[in-house]
Amino acid sequence: MQNQNLKNFEKGLALESLKTSLRELIFDLEKIVPYASALYKRSSGLAINVNRVQESIEPENPIEGLVFTLWNGQQFFEYSVNTWDWALLKTSLLTWAKNVAQQVDHTQALSQIDPGPKLSQEFESPLSEDPNRLSLKEKLDIAKDNLHIALKADPTVSNAISVVGHVTLEDVYVNRHKVLHQKILRSDMMLVVFLSDGKTSCEIFEGRSKNTGLNHVQLTENQITNLIEDGKKLLHAPRLEPGFYDVIADPDWSGIIAHECFGHGMETDLYVRERALSQHYLGQPIASTIVNMFDDPSLIGEAGGFYFDDEGQLSTPTHIIKNGILLQGLTDMASAHQLNIMRSANGRRESFARKAYARMTNTFFENGAHDPKEMIASVKDGLYLRYATNGMEDPQAWGIQVEGLWAEEIKNGRRTGKIYSPVIMTGFVPELLQSISMVGNDRTISGLGMCGKGHKEWVKNTTGGPHLKMRARLA
């Protein structure tokens, strides 16, 4: 990808003028190469962090720029700018396109990119309350209120970090058939609580992230006090004896399992490089027949949702596992074209200056038929898992690791209150998923997560699911 800074940046370009200018540029570029597209991305927001001794209010990574994608019949090329003068930009792009057109190996076959159906559409996420209309003091007061509730709740609370934020994301995508515009607002709220009894210490957290107003991610006083009561139980919790256990995973744990089982290992740009074992299991049973899993960016209210991806693909759900059968992976334009498979809306960029990759969005286990209380009652000797924190995967070997804070003993169908912490789950994905014997009817989706690809290229996503009963290796 080439990246060029141009002088004479014009602020506040009208949206319709931007669309018209991009369409004209695409028309001129396609006189030289067989396919061209343009993406304008802008984001702005605010992050408030308060703790016992410090308050900070910072802009949330403001970004604005353009990226152009060309296909010369054999390869993709990209060119990004974050300032522009239209006359100079056009000259630079046409010169670049001529160079791209010359980089064709005439001994190799050429192919075409499908620009998709003709469509011109505007999208905007619905809001009951726009946080941009709240004063800075009002937002700071929300963060302070959550902090004060936590600090006063119990003497063991040594400190807490209260986070309140919101981001506005705006995209314009143009190719010869499409002119698309979306505006999405995301709100975030999180509380991290640190506890200490003078001998040991621990931390625990709660939060929400949704494509909606702050009123829909607000933490209640009851949630905060329950969080602290749980944190106190972690202070002297012993480590778990390593081994295989019957477990009930709560929705947060289920979500991170979904993310790690079918994260980068189902992103088909890895298939192109033969770096994901999952590609050899397509069309085969890899989970219990009661297991269904989706990646669905069309859930617009969730933090990983959007109306179209960064390559102009309209959002639709991808059914990854259907009744235990592995159906399909998640694509960007390049991998779908190279593998000759159907595109999904998973071509995503960290910013206009970064490459598009196949990335997850809202990834979750779908609901099953069982009540969570019934699931717990079915366990004679096992563990109830809560407060998942993070995970990792090895796409080539299809192994995963999920970490969390809470494993509670279950004896004869009842939670005993005996807690082990921390807890780590490891395993080979098909073995773990085939062990699932019950799926709850209480799916929830958490939006706190971010996902990096190769320890970089960060994008927002969510994870979720219902309660799951399975057999797992824990330590």
User: Where does 297-346 show beta strands of DSSP type E?
Assistant: 318-322, 325-326
pLDDT tens column, 67-102: 999 999 999 999 999 977 889 999 999 999 999 999
pTM: predicted TM-score of the whole model, two decimal places? 0.95
Task: Tell me the two tokens of residue 235.
Answer: 């202070």
Alpha carbon distance 128, 215 (integer Å): 8
Yes or no: say if 357 and 457 are a contact pair by the CB < 8 Å rule. yes
User: In which band, very low, low, confident or very high, does the pLDDT at 6 lie, cut at 50, 70 and 90?
Assistant: very low
Residue 432's identity, in one-letter code, is L
CB atoms within 10 A of CB 470: 26
Residue 119's pLDDT is 97
Residue 142's pLDDT is 97
pLDDT tens column, 13-34: 588 999 999 999 999 999 999 9
pLDDT tens column, 172-181: 999 999 999 9
User: In which band, very low, low, confident or very high, does the pLDDT at 2 lie, cut at 50, 70 and 90?
Assistant: low
- Report the SS3 class of residue 240: coil
Beta pairing partners, 336: none
* Rounded percentage of the chain residues whose pLDDT exceeds 70: 97
Residue 11's pLDDT is 45
Alpha carbon distance 5, 25 (integer Å): 18
Task: Tell me the two tokens of residue 395.
Answer: 């796409």
Q: Is 340 left (phi over 0), alpha (psi -120 to 50) or beta?
A: left
Residue 265's pLDDT is 86
How large is the average pLDDT for residues 306-318? 98
pLDDT at position 5 over 60: no
pLDDT at position 49 over 90: yes
CA 132 to chain centre: 23
CA diameter of the chain: 75
In this structure, of 57-61, 119-123, 226-230, 239-243, the range with the lowest mean pLDDT score is: 57-61
pLDDT at position 354 over 90: yes
Alpha carbon distance 225, 181 (integer Å): 42
Residue 3's pLDDT is 55
**Phi/psi of residue 172, nearest 5 degrees:** -125, 125
Q: Please state the domain extents for the chain.
A: 2-44+60-123, 126-173+182-234, 243-474
Question: Is pLDDT larger for residue 350 or for residue 83?
Answer: 350
User: In which band, very low, low, confident or very high, does the pLDDT at 146 lie, cut at 50, 70 and 90?
Assistant: very high
How large is the average pLDDT for residues 387-411? 95
- Report the SS3 class of residue 421: coil
pLDDT at position 221 over 90: yes
Alpha carbon distance 272, 358 (integer Å): 11
Architecture of domain 126-173+182-234: 2-Layer Sandwich (3.30)
CB atoms within 10 A of CB 192: 18
Residue 304's pLDDT is 97
* Crossing angle (nearest 10°) for helices 86-102 and 15-29: 30
Residue 7's pLDDT is 42
* Rounded percentage of the chain residues whose pLDDT exceeds 90: 90
Question: Is pLDDT larger for residue 12 or for residue 88?
Answer: 88
How large is the average pLDDT for residues 447-460? 86
346 vs 13, 324, 379, CA distance in Å? Answer: 28, 22, 38
What is the fold, at CATH topology level, of the domain defined by 2-44+60-123? Double Stranded RNA Binding Domain (3.30.160)
Residue 12's pLDDT is 43
Q: Is the peptide bond before 422 cis (omega within 30 degrees of 0)?
A: yes
For tokens 């499908």, the residue is: 114
List helix spans (H) across 154-291. 221-234, 251-261, 269-272
Beta pairing partners, 78: 69
